[in-house]
Amino acid sequence: MCFRILSFDTSTELCSVAILNKTKVYYRSVITNYDHNQFILPLINYVLKKSNLKLTELDAIAFSQGPGSFTGVRISAAVAQGLSIGSNVPVIGISALETMAESAKRILKAKKILAMIDAKMNQFYLSQYRYSNKLHSFNKKEQLITIHDLLNWLKTLTGTWVIVGNSWQKLIEIFKKNKKNNITFQQSDIKFPDAFDSLTIAKRKFKLGQFITLEKILPVYLNNNLLK
């Protein structure tokens, strides 16, 4: 089955846009100072032009719901809603944490992944993923967790886990101070959710018919005291 899907992510410093046109992906990204409103629409127009697609020719629009930057996820939802209203194209919501896990699966062939985004104030957005071939399961729901609770929970894990996100360095330094653990961390260079990999999730959700209605195109904050 061939797809024409637009995906974008503005939940962290990385503003990224990707379009799948049947079998070819067109991609553009830029590191920002959370001023995504200056970049997101020009990037979308750029990849649309490169892919020779019109907005109305898309099968779906996939956007990052968060968690992440308060401003970023709000912009992402607003853009998705505006594009859908103007084109009548259905919308798919994508988790920023799951997108990073998808990157780790593709790049590192990782099977056990901890996806984390620094939420400031000694808190993290966290989700845990286990992959078996093409199947995946969520052993821990997305949540906002304090360092204290995170370290206690990590003591229950065993084996090697790949860490993705912008907070693994902080976590490893803290965790090294506690010698009573049975977990090994595999570091990665995957710091941000990327629209390139959210396309894979979007295809999966498209096949399952997991679209969201206009009134449910909302950010996932998890908490009111977020990033910027």
Domains of the chain: 3-96+192-216 (3.30.420.40), 97-186 (3.30.420.40)
Give the integer Cα–Cα distance in Å for 71 and 30: 16
In the chain, the percentage of residues whose pLDDT exceeds 90 is 71
Q: Per-residue pLDDT averaged across 112-136, rounded?
A: 85
In percent, how much of the chain has pLDDT > 70? 90
What pLDDT does residue 134 have? Answer: 58
Give the pairing type, strands 158-165 and 182-186: parallel
Look at 200 and 171; give whichever has higher pLDDT.
200
Question: Rounded to two decimals, what is the model's pTM?
Answer: 0.92
d(CA 68, CA 10) in angstroms, rounded, equals 9
